[in-house]
Amino acid sequence: MSVWQFLKSKTFRNNLLTAVGVLVVIVIALVQYLKFYTNHGQEIEVPDLKDLNVDQIQALLEDHDFKFVVVDSTYIRGKQPNLVYEQDPQAGSKVKEGRTIYVSITSSNTPKVKLPNLIDLSLRKATIDLRNIGLEVGELIMRPDIANNVVLEMNLAGRKVMPGKEVPRGTAVDLVIGIYNVDSLVAIPNLVGLTIEEARFYLSETALYLGRINYQGTIADTTKALVVRQFPEAIEDEMINTMSFVDIWVEENN
């Protein structure tokens, strides 16, 4: 039998139809499998993991067949350890089940930093340098000196410390500030609308001290509380002796 006769035969046609049918079935099965495997067209919302601990997020993500990987651990002052502070994808994103969520959590290990050399710097520059490395300005102590509004000394717990000393990040460093004329009069700055730390800083720049802090109402975060009243008040042409105290009343900024 010639090739042409074989191609025209019933046997060849039956074999061809069978092969095509099998191929179609295979293709359909493969498409359905891929749809099932990739959850084609099915997306779910990523939950908000912020401020949850590792055990909580594991239980929450397992409900949606999510996986998670901790990619970073950072110390954050005032935060409990092992809490999520950042995630990727973000909460509310639409993703498929089985997606890996990358999280950053807080650490219990307080990193240490070296005290910079603040001696002979202005109070403003010293404040910036401290905050840039994660330290805070503590008590400001005025001392008569020809170097006005300049850092003379750094203290921790009432003791003088030298540059280079390692301290935990977030430590408040007390600064001894020079004041040229202790008997002079200065205008009282207007502190209303400032935070406590801003009020402390503005007072120190005019050689005044922050006195009593009066908290009004419920204040969850003192760093966000704003001054609503002060005594003595900032009255035009009203003067006060240097190294005097100014009391403030603060409320939470809602």
Higher pLDDT, 26 or 247: 247
CATH architecture, domain 112-252:
2-Layer Sandwich (3.30)
Same fold, 44-106 and 112-252: yes
Q: Domain 44-106 adopts which CATH fold?
A: Trypsin Inhibitor V; Chain A (3.30.10)
pLDDT tens sequence across 4-26: 555 556 665 666 667 667 677 67
CB under 8 Å to 195, separation ≥6 — which residues?
223, 224, 225, 226, 227
pLDDT of residue 15: 66
Domain spans, the chain: 3-38, 44-106, 112-252
Tens-place pLDDT, residues 127-186:
889 988 888 888 888 888 888 889 999 999 889 999 999 998 888 899 998 887 767 788
Q: Which long-range contacts (CB under 8 A, 24 or more apart) does 72-75 make?
A: 72/104, 72/105, 73/104, 73/105, 73/106, 73/107, 74/104, 74/105, 74/106, 74/107, 75/106, 75/107, 75/108, 75/109, 75/110, 75/111, 75/169
Distance in angstroms (rounded) separating the CA atoms of residues 166 and 186 = 37
User: Does the structure show a pLDDT above 60 at 38?
Assistant: no
The reply to whether the predicted model has a pTM over 0.85 is no
